[in-house]
Structure 1
Amino acid sequence: MAVTISHPAELPQRQAEKSPNKTIIKYYDRESKQWRNINWSKFAAGVMNAAKALAEIGLEPGERIGIYSPNMVHCLYTELGAFAMRGVVVPLYATSSPEQLRFIVEDSSMETLFVGEQFQYNNAYRVQKEYGTLKRIVVFDERVVLNPEDKTSKYFSEFVRLGDSMPNETKVKVSSREAIPSDPALIIYTSGTSGRSKGVLLLHSNLMYQMKVHSEHIPVYGPGELSIAFLPMSHIFEKAWTLFCLTTGTRIAILRDPKKVLEALPQIRPSLMCNVPRFWEKVYQGVNEKMASSPRILKGLYRRAMAVGQRYRLDYWNEGKRAPLLLSMQYAFYNRTIFTLLKRVLGLQRGRYFPTAGAPLSDEINIFLQSVNIPIIVGYGLSETTATVSFYPQRGFKIGSMGKVMPGLDVRIDPDNNEILVKGESIMSEYYKLPEETVAAFTPDGYFRTGDAGRMDPDGTLYFLERIKDLYKTANGKYIAPQMIEGMLAKDSIIEQIAVIGDRFKYVSALVYPNWELVRRAAIKRGLTEAGTMSVQEMAANPEINRLMMARIEAAQDSLAAYEKVKYITLLAEPFTLEKGELTETMKLKRRVINEHYAEAIEKMYL
């Protein structure tokens, strides 16, 4: 059951009083190589210890602290402890570079930074030496080796002992009682697909509004459920979902290394999971690759199962209609056999509610997932809207949409450019220290400008069309929607990543990072036997392999208008990565960075 609170500062103690011995957190212990449990009593004590230590160092209401770490329970102790002291939390992605860290430390004027592992500590210490206002670094992982010259940093276990006194506990309790919904809670710096980061200032009232509405309209939560947190808890999607789980008493398995999610899922078998489309694209491609090499009889069985699943789940179950008896029997058979086997291999057999957002999900992949009874819930939201603006109802959703607008929010479409405009209690307070940008982000009558083009049905079903800033205008005056083209071409499992180019050019081109193993197999099958011994760099430069890849793209883009079709490609030997600054944490392309990094290759496609 959800607890009723007016401020997150109340949450840990209220839950501990109600259910002290119930598990709320699971985490992987690297020493024993086992998953360990933390109950509400221990969790509340961890939050209180962090809050007391923050009281000891004199954290003032409104003062900023940073959390720069992969997902760890220490992040929650620190964040909720700061909330109890009316502090403001600035979450940073664990992959943030020293330059990104320096900007956020300086812009937010934080004096205390909590870091997770060696990578984050090294960057933080470097920034501390260069930027004097960062007074202290607190390190979560005690295996981190501190710099011999570092005389101020402490491990988290040392830090929390600073607060071991009754006066500090009293300070925390007084501060928690004085906390009000209009207190600032978070400054989330947008990773941004272009331009400088902006600090999105969210209030506790924004968070509490979302918790209230979600608990009223999401039917799946509570101690019997288990959610896995593998997306960064520094991102508003996972952060808001984690707070929802804590509010409702839903257990959370915290995954420290997101790259190990496929390994962890069969161990955890979550019933709930936030996710991004890229994960589901990988699942879909993996299934297709497996079926492509399967015997003909198995392929036929799979096709029949998918046809039955799609008809039963989308034409009947989703519409609230009773399916014909024969169809119901066929579906029951395939669900018990093929679909259950698929989900068991993935670790998703207990799945009940998988929110999916962060980027558009193709209709083809959505239909596949719905057909095999993987319960994804497509939604839409931004940091500035405290995550959710719309999401699928459990039944009656429309494929291709982003679900229905959340109750209490007012959404309209700008008639001039189709921009989605949102007003309501979940909308950010401001862009931190950017008054002009804040004013520009709202219409004169108070609607937030999302920057996304969309449309809306009379029943409140919302559709995403394109990022307005991502729209390309070719030299011929035609508008191109690159995300739509990329989504269409990426359905082919041979394409791992693709960035469509075309802004101000006379035609469309693309940078393509393929699945090189599949390329090698396809080339050998075409008679290019020497591909078996070629390096990736040699394959990328090989004219025959380039022609092979262009033929695959031409087949995939057959339904596009002539001016939308990719005319030339450049094959990449290396993928776009977070580390090179080419992707956001939700795997969206940073087009400006990609255009800079591959300027020479792009220029060659237009000579």
Structure 2
Amino acid sequence: MADQSTPLTLALQQLYRWEREAATDPVLHQPLEGAALRSYTWAQVADETRRMAAHLRALGREQGWESGARVAILSKNCAWWLMSDLAIWMAGYVSVPLYPTLAPETIRHILEHSDSRAIFVGKLDGWEAMQAGVPAGMSGISYPVSPASARQQYEDWDTICARTEPVLGEPLRGADELATLIYTSGTTGMPKGVMHSFGNFAWAVRAGLQRLPLHRHDRMLSYLPLAHVVERVLVEHCWLATGMQLYFAESLDTFTADLQRAQPTLFFSVPRLWTKFQQGVHAKLPPQRLQLLLRLPLVGWLVRRKILKALGLSKCRVAAGGAAPMPTALLQWFRQLGLPICEGYGMSENLAVSHITVPGQDQTGTVGIPYEGVETRVDPVSGELLMRSPALMLGYFKQPELSAEVLDAEGWLHTGDKAAVDERGCTRITGRVKDLFKTSKGKYVAPAPIEDRLGMHPAIEACAVVGANLAQPLGLLMLNPQAAAQRSDTTERAALEASLRAHLQAVNAHLDPHEQLGALVLLCTPWTVDNGLVTPTLKVRRPRVEELFGAQLEGWAEARQPLLWGD
């Protein structure tokens, strides 16, 4: 275990270390069109990073950029994303990652709010619509995997590297220097720019590796947005700290093949994808038959092995989940398969390093204990979880008044989450302080625990419990495509409805009378990033759900039917 008193090793120092010590080791594996795969060694990563850093320095001199100028990255995950980030830092600038699914208005807001001087435009599905959000005249650089129109508009990475001499030596940045602005995906309002220093990242990674030890021989698949704090810390900075190999996903259509190719030893995902894995298994092996087979000694071992191999997780020694609550039943299901999932808790404001369950210990139903060096307490009045650590943000960019709302004078971060701590010191997140709503009976309801139970039906892909000023809460359910298709078949529809009625009864049996759901509303329209119903990490945007369906809630409640079909 690392001594917390030892000096921190910063990101660029890690790059130079691997450049010296492991120059020929392949570390980045980038899929190209078709079945092609382009692998980068540490020497190649460092060389292209140095050349792009030199280009950015020249661009900054030519255009009169200030010290610490912001440079944006708009791309899906790829090798060039990571090298862009490193080049921005090496050149003396600050990176501003953008989610690759943002609307043009949000792109423009972030670029203008951050005063970004240039942008890397990389691998994107909807660039034709997005480009309206990039201010005219902004300098841009494209990747070899960028859309053709972006490559025509902006000079290509390879062309720049071919003509540019690399930065020499080992330029460093200070621990207190601003490294990046992480614009929150946010479940409410416009995104805020969370400021983090190089020292924040270095401390967060050291604390994380004490809980989840990783090494050079580990492998990860990078597929969740690198603009998100978890992927940034767990993938980018753990890669730099350990020297492990990274593989990138090509697309949703190739995700299974990408996972099989990577054979990750560490795999992190959000609850919605873990649920999809489970539903995929149940589609081929019904739950009752699976449970029967798992109880048979030799057969159970073979079934577990076959399922994990089919998922591409047979080599996985550390599985983790987070970004939203993990349903207890889902965690227990994967534990039965021999793949216990460590559930983590954190936020952009603390680099996602707050709590995580301890590998090898069954702390199901909690987010475990704090990382070493993290202080926590629960406010005795509001029940809100407060925490502080050396990984706390410097504040929100250009928004000191909002910073003061969440960081108090003693340095405590007010998380906005309600929590309880058990006798083991494990923390259970019980809901959002502001998500509580009051029914017309004057009773408060915390939706998160109900949603955990509700979302465990195999037909449900996402859900939200709403009901402010209604007599009883309602459950809004987004059905998965297979279940939605059953609506048009009389027999299949009847079976689905019977199953969901039984599920409603089972959920309500565990709730107090004022919490019990008056009805389930079945919705077939997907909840996507594009329509604003979920964030890029697939967390439900509750305000958007209430905005979109608010006018119908009272009518659904007055129908007094246990099941209703919505749009």
Fold shared, TM-score > 0.5 on shorter chain? yes
Deviation at 1:560, TM superposition (A): 1.6
Change (3 A) 1:114 1:564: same
Corresponding residue to 1:82 among 77, 80, 88: 88
Instruction: Give the 3 Å change call, closer, same or farther, for CA 503–64 of structure 1 in structure 2.
Output: same
Aligned equivalents of 2:295, 2:326: Cα separation in 1: 24
* C-alpha distance in 2 between matches for 1:380 and 1:555: 28
Deviation (angstroms), 1:353? 0.7
Partner of 1:180: 174
Structure 1 residue matching 2:353: 3-state secondary structure: strand
Partner of 1:404: 369
When Rg is computed on C-alpha atoms for both structures, the one with the higher figure is: 1
The amino acid of 1:261's aligned partner reads: F
Contact 1:389 1:405 in 2 (8 A): yes
- Deviation of 1:476 after TM superposition, in Å, equals 1.6
Show the counterpart of 2:564.
none
Matches within 5 A, 1:419-438: 419-438=384-403
Shift of 1:606: 3.9
1:91 and 2:102 aligned: no
Quote how far apart the aligned CAs of 1:449 are: 0.4
Where do 1:158-197 residues align within 5 Å? 158-161=159-162, 164-165=164-165, 169-170=167-168, 173=169, 176-177=171-172, 179-197=173-191
Share of identical aligned residues, percent? 25
Normalising to structure 2: TM-score of the pair? 0.90
Query: Which residue, out of 512, 532, 540, partners 1:589?
Result: 540
Amino acid at match of 2:259: L
Contact map agreement 1:419 1:468 (CA 8 A) in 2: yes
Structure 2 contact 420–427 (Cα < 8 Å) conserved? yes
TM alignment of 1:232-247, pairs within 5 A:
232-242=225-235, 243-247=237-241
Q: Count matched residues.
A: 550
Alpha-carbon offset, residue 497 of structure 1: 2.3
Counterpart of 2:37 in 1: which secondary structure?
A: strand
Whether the 8 Å contact between 1:419 and 1:450 is mirrored in structure 2 is yes
Distance 2:487 2:101 in 1: 35
Write the letter of the residue equivalent to 2:247: A
CA distance in 1, matches of 2:287, 2:373: 50
| Cα distance in 1, alignment partners of residues 265 and 207 from structure 2 | 21
Structure 2 residue 411 is matched with structure 1 residue 446: yes
Q: Is the contact made by 1:494 and 1:518 (CA closer than 8 Å) also made in structure 2?
A: yes
**What do residues 6-42 of structure 1 show as CA deviations (whole Å, max 9, x unaligned)?**
32122222201101111111121224x1333211111
Instruction: Provide the C-alpha distance between the structure 2 equivalents of 1:351 and 1:57, rounded to a whole number of angstroms.
Output: 43
Residue 199 in 1 paired to residue 193 in 2? yes
Q: Which residue is equivalent to 1:601?
A: 552
Greater helix proportion:
1
- Give structure 2 stretches of 5+ with no counterpart: 559-567
Residues 329-363 of structure 1, C-alpha deviation per residue, up to 9 Å, x if partnerless?
x4xx3564121111111111101012211111111
Is 1:227 aligned with 2:220? yes
Residue 286 (structure 1) aligns with? 280
Structure 1 runs not aligned, ≥5 long = 306-329, 532-538
Indicate how the Cα distance of structure 1 residues 49 and 256 shifts in structure 2: closer, same or farther if over 3 A, else same: farther
Instruction: Choose 59-68 or 446-455, whichever is displaced more.
Output: 59-68
Matched, 1:106 2:112: yes
| Distance across 2 between alignment mates of 1:207 and 1:120 | 31
Q: Structure 1 residue 557: deviation in Å? A: 3.0
1:53 correspondence with 2:55:
yes
C-alpha separation between the residues in 1 aligned to 2:56 and 2:74?
Answer: 17
Paired with 1:516 and 1:193, the residues of 2 have a C-alpha distance of: 24
Q: Tell me the TM-score normalised to structure 1 length.
A: 0.84
| Partner AA of 1:65 in structure 2 | V
Question: Shift in Å at residue 574 of structure 1?
Answer: 0.9
Structure 1 residues 366 and 135, CA gap change in structure 2 (3 angstroms)? same
Q: Is 1:496 paired with 2:461?
A: yes
Please say if residues 104 and 131 of structure 2, whose CA atoms lie closer than 8 Å, have aligned partners that are also in contact.
no
**1:520 CA drift (Å):** 6.0
Tell me the SS of whatever aligns to 1:27: strand
Change in CA separation of 1:147 and 1:270 when aligned onto 2, cut-off 3 Å: closer
Give the whole-Å Cα distance in 1 for the aligned partners of 2:149 and 2:282.
Answer: 47
Contact kept, 8 Å, 2:118 with 2:140, in 1: the verdict is yes
CA contact (8 A) 1:53 1:161 kept: no
Q: Distance in 1 between matches of 2:253 and 2:104?
A: 22
**CA distance in structure 2 between the partners assigned to 1:142 and 1:227 by the alignment:** 21
SS of the residue aligned with 1:369?
A: helix
Q: Is the 8 Å Cα contact of residues 351 and 375 (structure 1) preserved in structure 2?
A: no
User: Secondary structure at the residue paired with 1:421?
Assistant: strand
Cα pair 2:331 2:340 within 8 Å, conserved:
no
Note the C-alpha offset of 1:247.
1.2
* AA partner of residue 83 (structure 1): W
Q: Is the 8 A contact 2:77 2:123 kept in 1?
A: no
| Cα distance per residue 1:238-270 (max 9 Å; x no partner) | 110121122111111122435643332222211
1:120, CA displacement in angstroms?
5.5
Deviation at 1:554, TM superposition (A): 2.8
